[in-house]
Each structure stands twice: as C-alpha cells, then as structure tokens.
Amino acid sequence: MSEMPADEADRGRPRGRRRRWATATGAAVLATVVLVACGSIGDDTAASGGSGCHAGATGLTFWGWSAGYDLVVKKFNQTHPDICVRLENAGNASDEYVKVNDALKANSGTPDVAQIEYFALPSFEITKSLVDLAPYGVGDARADEAPAAWSQVTEGSAQYAMPVDLGPLGLYYNAKVFTEHDIAVPTTWSAFAAAADALHAADPKAAITNFDPVDAQPVLALMQQYGAFPFTYSGGDTLGIDFTGPAQTAFADLWQGMIDKKEVTTAADFSPAQWANLDSGANAARISPAWGPVGMQGSIKKTIGDWRAAPMPQTRAGQDLEGNWGGSTLAVVKGTGHAKEAATFVKWFGGSADAWQILSGDVAGAFPGYLPLLNSPAFQSRTLPISGTSQPNKVFAKAARNTRPAQWPPIMTAVLTQWTSAFAGVTKGTETLAEAFKAFQQQMVTYAKAQGFTVTEG
Amino acid sequence: MNQKTANLASPPRVSGGPVPDGPGAPGRVAPRRPARRRARGRQWPGAVFISPQMLVLALFMLVPTVYAVYESLQTTRLVGGTHYSGLANYGTVLHSPEFWDGVRRVLVFTVVQVPVTIALAFFFAALFDAGVVKYARFFRTVFFMPFAVPGVVAAVMWSFLLLPDFGPYAKLMRALGLGHVDFFSSKLILPTIILIVMWEWTGYNVTVLYTSLKSIPQHITEAAVMDGARLGTIIMRLKLPMVRPTIVMLCFLNTVGALQLFTEPSILAAFQPQAVSFGFTPSLYVYNTAVGTSDYNLGAAAAVVLALIIGALSLGAFAIRKRAGEFR
C-alpha cells in the first residue's frame, strides 16, 4: 500500500547533504537487509531431513503427511547407504495436491516422491505429472499386493505409483446395544433397513448408524460397496458419470428412507457429535474403514470393549461386494532427476517387510495392502481395547482381499470441492439424496465437458 | 489480502493525515521536474528511502497483477492443454450465479457490519473520552484485545464456542428458552460472521476514535460546558463533527476490508462445511476456483473482476472525500 503524496515533501530540507546521504543509504540498506531476513525466516516446511543418511548418498525429497512415515524413512536411509530421503510435510491430502499442482505449474519445487491417495492418481496421470515406474522394475512387487491396490496404480502397461495401505469398509457395531434390543447383525441391506426399524422402534432415541451426506469419500465408498459407483474411467478422454441410474437411485432411496425416519443421523464425520452418538448408544453401528477403530478408540470412553467388526451388508444375499475408503500410494513426480533411486524407495516403502513392520505399528497404524502381512495369522489375530477380545482384522483383511478397484475419474478435485455445497441440503433436510444426485450429475457432466472430456451418461 | 495485516502494514494516521489507499487508488505521482540541474541530486535520498517499499510493491503487487491478467486470458483444460481464449473466462465469471451471489452477500455484510461497528465504537470511545467510566484504561485494553487475536485464531475459537449442540452459546440459548439455535444454519450464518467480525474489529475502531477524540483541544469542550451544554449535546453536536474525518476514514478502511471477507468464512468452512458455500464471498470464489478446482485461469479472471469492483468503490469513495475537502 502506498501513501498519499504529500506535496510539501521536498520543502524546508536542512543542509549538510553528505551526511544525510550516508544516513539515507544506510537506512535503505538496513531496510533491505531486514526485508530479506524476514523473507528467509518464514520457511514453514517441516523437514525431518536425511535422518540416518550416509555421506555421498543421492538426495530425494519426499512429500507425505501420514503419521509414522518419518520412522519408515529413517529405516530406509539406514538400510540404503547410497540414497538419502528427506521427508517434508507439505500438508494433508488436498493441501498437498494443490502444492504439487502449483509446483508443476511453476516448473520448480516439485518433490521427487509424493504421497497420493488412490482417488487422486488419475488426476495426476491425465496431466502427465507422474513417472512411469514400469521400466524401473517396480512391477516385481505385484505378487505381494492386494489386487484392488495394484490395479488402481496401473494403467495398461504403465505403472504410476506404488500402493501402500487400504481402507476396506466393515460394519463396526456396538454388540451390547444389538444384544440388548435383540437385533441380529444384518447381512443384506434390506435386513439392515429392517434392523434400523427395529432398533428405532425399541428405542426412539437410537439410530442404527450415521450417514454424512457432505463427506464425499465415505459416500462414494458406500456406493462402490452397493454396486452403484457413479464413475467409469479407464484412462484417456472418455469418462462415464452416472448418479441417476437404477443402482444409484436405489442406493439414494435406501439411505433417504432411513434419514427420513430418523433411523440414521447425519452428523459430520469425525465431529464431536458423531463420537458422542457412538459412545452414548445413539448410534448403534459405524460404517467404518479398516483404519477407523484405532482413531475411534481415542475418541470414545464409555463403550470401549463393546465394538465388533462384521462384514458389510450386501445388496443381494451371497454377493461379496466391498467398498474402500482411503489409502495411499507413493508416486514419483515428473521432473525428478533421480527416477531410478525414487523407484527403489517407493518399491521398498510399500512392499517390504521392513517398512510394514513400522507402517502397521502403533504410531502409523496403516492397514496393509501388502499381502504377506495382510494374510499373516499374527496380523489377523491382533486385538484392540475397543473391540475386547475379538479380532476385527480378520473381517477387514477378508474385505481387503475381495475389494474390486474403483475407477476413479480424473476430475476428483472438482468432485470433492463441489460435493460439499451440492449435498448440504440433504443434511439440512431441504432436499433428498436422489435430488442431490440429480443436480450433482448435471454439475459434473457440465464440468467434465468443459474440460474437454467425452462424457457418457448412464 | 487479510484485512488485519493490510491495516497493520500502514497504520492509519488520525485526523486527516495521509491515508493508506485501497487497491486501485492512484499511487505516488512522479516528482516534479527539478528547476535546476543541481537540485536533481537532492531528490535521491528520498528515492532511496522509498525504494524498498517500491521494490516490494512491484514484486508483490504489480507483477502478480500483470501475471493474473495474462493468466485470465488463457484456458487450460484437462484434455487438450492450454490455449489463448480472450475474454471467455470473464464471461464465465460474469455469468456465474455463484460469483454474484457472493458479491451480493458481501455487500449486505458490509452495509450492516461497517456502520454498526463504527457506531458502537464511537459510543464506547465517547464514553471513555468523557471520563464517565471507572477503570477506563483497563476496559480500553479489554476492548482492544480481540484485535490482538489473529483472525484465524478468532474464527477457530468462535467455531467451537458456537457449536450447535455442545457449544456454550447453544446451551445458553436453550437455557433462555429459545430452543435449539444453530448459528451455522443458512439463515444465521451471515449474522454469525457479522458478530465475529464485529467482535474482532470494534476494539480497533474504539482505539482509533478515542485517540482522535483526545486530540480535540480541551478549551473547546470547556467553552461548551461554560455555555451550559450537556454531555450528550457535547458528544453529538461538538465532538462527533470534529472527528468526522476519522469516521469517514474508518468507514473506508472497514469497507475495503469487509469487501475482501475471506478469513472467517474459510475457517468456519473447515468446521461447518455445509454452512459456507463454494462462492460464499467473492474472495472464497477466487480461492476455491483457483486452488480447489485447479482452474488458475478462471480464478485469475475472478480476481481481476473483484479487484476492479473494489477499486471502483475505492475510487468513488476517494473522490467523495476529496470533494469534501479532506486532503488539503
């Protein structure tokens, strides 16, 4: 901001020019120094740089945010003397993607390796921002990865990332509440709706679970599990969008019915309200990703030990459809000068016993897509205080093995950004889920066409 | 730009001194050509002094502005890359109901928040100045405190305080028999943000007005008292006109800040995503377009449109004040 001109600025200046010259120059230099100093202080990247590095190693920059990644990186540096990975936290999920996009746009400051969730990979692939890892032999890791994880990082013969963890859904229910009201654990969605009726009839204050319409990821995971995933995409510039087909409408009607009858709450996911409902019995179950129980354990008090995992209800009895919420991959970002070393790092990070020993530990708590661990009895028989003596990993591991890959569209950034306001009315009760789907369908088709895609509807 | 930093960067001088101008107001005019060659050197120290600021202004204001205009004339698509598209992005912005929705909302916000804040601020400043408050110094500090809290922190704090089910204010409303009050519902979200912003800014305005009131010579007030004027009369008929330039300036500053409303709603959105839409305010529309959907070109066009709107309002206000003879 500049100041208004003061016309008299030049008037009445005293003599003694040389000295004032020196003062003025000195002041200007000082001001500049101060400015430069201030500029260099605000370096806000939390670099836990090069821990455990050996001298003369090739340096790699790695952007990631998940807990415990620093410990895994340290282990890598110790066991790989010629590579030195520096982990920087550039923000969580979307915040990081924005920074990666900005750096790509600016052609400078991109990391060598970035943590990217499955749903965001196609968005980076279509802008040709990721390095194909196939020539670097990362494909050898295939046999050790859950099929759902593997097929989401590959496109044709190209491989754009190394899968790390998964988030298969399970029905995580409060056994005490279910027993108290004599409700059997539902195996189909129609049985689930009946159980919701029965529970609400027995206790008008109770709702069987929570459904947060404005949280895109769990809703999409549930749609996937219902066989109503709204996107079809397999690379290139043709994209299928379908929020209004028969399966999607059935899905919308199922949940809207329960919302209307107050049998399902619509609190924000991970909000104090949701935890309170789960802990008071106001919510008898949670549609939980595999990584959910660990976090839930820290957010509830009274019902620790009462929670059990069951397979997700199915659309038709005997089916085995699964949904996945969350999970990350490591990708090598275009512009790196060390693709070979980066490939070595990501392959080890997602597909080695050393890395998974730390990743599945108490700090990181990641749910493996890495089969040797996923299938091991030691992992499957783990217990958690929140689940008493039961073994939730058995249920989640089975779901992980049977999950089919979701075909994430390359427009997920726009989907997530516009989702919140598009579905706000469902939370408020001013519109139905089916109506919101219909409006969102229009929005997404318009956006995709404007981005140059050939869009198929239905 | 954040309202608070903008004002802190160049603290307003009270009573008609030089005033920081908003975007779009005319900058420093070129110095008059020297009459004699020898005099040329005499302008240098001044130029040296302002050079750091000019450098920063060029780096962080002019260059980005030029770049934004350049970006706004292009279109980048996921399929097919970037091409020159002329004024197409401007057409999109001007036809976007979300953008105008935000503009309307921010105008309503400004029309309510600025006058109410300044009226409140003058009321308290006059009370402190009249010396009718005990422990005035302590209360002045208390009033100023919210301004010392960064806007982000304030917004986070209020997000918790106003929680619909567990917040103390929701409980208070229930206790008062007002039933279930959701401060973040579509009806109440704007009043809620107005209250938060008023809480943050009233103290600042009180401080400026108080200083301004203090600068009114004592003998004028004394003369009024001798003539038998009451306190109310002195405040409304004598002091209010004398601090008019300050009030006009505060209106101007608060308005420019209010039109750029961003911090509070963007923080609230993190807590109450359903309450704050994509284009809740024009600044949020710019941010969500550029950052949220990675459409830098459309975001740049929206930013230019917004700058033009605010610039035009600033120039208008500036012209009115100039005619009122403020810059003599």
pLDDT tens-digit map of A241-256:
999 999 999 999 999 9
Q: What is the mean pLDDT of residues A354-363?
A: 94
Which residue from A minimizes the CA distance to B43? A10
Q: Cβ separation of A414 and B293 shorter than 8 Å?
A: yes
> CB-CB: which of A25, A35, A417 is closest to B56?
A35
Which residue from A minimizes the CA distance to B185? A428
Q: What is the mean pLDDT of residues A22-37?
A: 52
- The residue whose two tokens read 């970037």 is B82
The percent of residues in chain A predicted with pLDDT above 70, rounded, is 89
Which residues in B lie closer than 8 A to residue A214 (C-beta atoms)?
273-274
Instruction: Report yes or no: A301 and A78 within 8 Å, Cβ to Cβ.
Output: no
Query: A278-300: buried (b, 16+ CB within 10 Å) or exposed (e) per residue?
Result: bbebbbbbbbbbbbbbbebeeeb
Sketch the domain layout of chain B as residue ranges: 114-282+302-323
* Band of residue A53 on the pLDDT scale cut at 50, 70, 90: confident
Range A239-242 contact pairs with CB under 8 angstroms and sequence separation of 24 or more? A239/A409, A239/A410, A239/A411, A239/A448, A239/A453, A239/A454, A239/A455, A239/A456, A240/A455, A240/A456, A240/A457, A241/A409, A241/A441, A241/A444, A241/A445, A241/A448, A241/A455, A241/A456, A241/A457, A242/A441, A242/A457, A242/A458
- B10 to chain A, closest Cα gap in Å: 7
Which residue from B minimizes the CA distance to A415? B293
**Helix, strand, coil in percent for chain A, rounding step 5:** 50, 15, 35
Residue in B185, B280, B278, B178 with CA at minimum distance from that of residue A429: B185
Is 80 exceeded by the pLDDT of residue A57?
A: yes
The percent of residues in chain B predicted with pLDDT above 70, rounded, is 86
Q: Cβ separation of B274 and A411 shorter than 8 Å?
A: no
Is 70 exceeded by the pLDDT of residue B20?
A: no
Q: Cβ separation of A452 and B80 shorter than 8 Å?
A: yes
Distance between CA atoms of residues A355 and A348, nearest Å? 7
Strands A285-289 and A169-174: antiparallel
The neighbour count for residue A266, using CB atoms within 10 Å, is 20
Residue in A128, A278, A310, A127 with CA at minimum distance from that of residue A207: A278
Indicate the SS3 state at residue A267: coil
| Positive/negative CA dihedral, B31, B37, B42, B45 | positive
Predicted local confidence at residue B19, as pLDDT = 40
Residues 146-205 of B with CB under 8 A from A: 163, 165-166, 185-186
Would you give the end-to-end CA distance of chain A in angstroms? 54
Average pLDDT, rounded, for chain B:
84
Q: Cβ separation of B52 and A98 shorter than 8 Å?
A: no
Q: Please, which residues have CB within 8 angstroms of residue A286's CB and are 6 or more apart in sequence? A: A172, A173, A209, A210, A278, A292, A296
B114-282+302-323 is classed CATH 1.10.3720.10? yes
Predicted local confidence at residue A16, as pLDDT = 45
- A338 to chain B, closest Cα gap in Å: 27
Which residues in B lie closer than 8 A to residue A450 (C-beta atoms)?
77
Predicted local confidence at residue A52, as pLDDT = 75
Which residues in B lie closer than 8 A to residue A411 (C-beta atoms)?
78
Helix axis angle, A216-226 to A246-260, nearest 10°: 120
Torsions phi, psi of A158, nearest 5?
A: -90, 150
Determine the distance from the C-alpha atom of residue A108 to the mean position of all C-alpha atoms in its chain, rounded to a whole number: 25
Indicate the SS3 state at residue B133: coil
Is 90 exceeded by the pLDDT of residue A281?
A: yes
Q: What is the pTM of this model?
A: 0.73
Which one is predicted more confidently, A24 or B323?
B323
- B78 to chain A, closest Cα gap in Å: 5
Joined tokens for residue B308: 């033009």
Query: B62-90: buried (b, 16+ CB within 10 Å) or exposed (e) per residue?
Result: eeeeeebeebbbbbbbbeeeeeebeebbb
- The residue whose two tokens read 């709107």 is B309
